Amino acid sequence: MKEIIAMIRPKMMAKTKDVLEKAGILSITALPVLGRGKQQGIANEVDIEYRPKILEQKNQRMKYIPKRMISIVVKNDEVDTVIKSLVEVNRTGQIGDGKIFVCPIDEVLRIRTGEIGEAAIL
């Protein structure tokens, strides 16, 4: 099993959810997060509301950039499908398209039923 963690633009969340659903991936966790990459963001890139001072500009760079973090746990044979779907919908060719991380999962336990392993993520 693998956990796929993706950082994407907030405005791409609905399209991302739709493409994952069409690929048969129904279980995801999504959180609003703040961060920045090595480019430190471009001030006019953000078009959503945010709290004052979160995006303080300094030399046209931003302190933090709003993103969505998506976490998806899948069977090993679903990893390529998820990555392809994420890239397909989120790649614009511009700075800030995001990142995808693939991490191993040693074990999963469904609390309600006690199922373990792949049975717990189905």
Tens of pLDDT, residue by residue over 50-85, are 555 555 555 555 677 889 999 999 999 999 999 999
47 pLDDT more than 70:
no
The pLDDT value given to residue 36: 78
Mean pLDDT (the chain, rounded):
86
Fold of the domain built from segment(s) 2-36+66-120: Alpha-Beta Plaits (3.30.70)
Assigned token pair, 55: 């995006």
Q: Which long-range contacts (CB under 8 A, 24 or more apart) does 112-118 make?
A: 117/1, 118/1, 118/75
Does the pLDDT value for residue 10 go beyond 80? yes
Question: Would you place residue 95 in the very low, low, confident or very high pLDDT band (cuts 50, 70, 90)?
Answer: confident
Higher local confidence (pLDDT), 51 or 26: 26
Q: What is the pTM of this model?
A: 0.81
CB of 121 closer than 8 Å to CB of 1: yes
Domain spans of the chain? 2-36+66-120
Instruction: Write phi, then psi, for 97 (nearest 5 degrees).
Output: -60, -25
> What is the amino acid identity at position 50?
Y
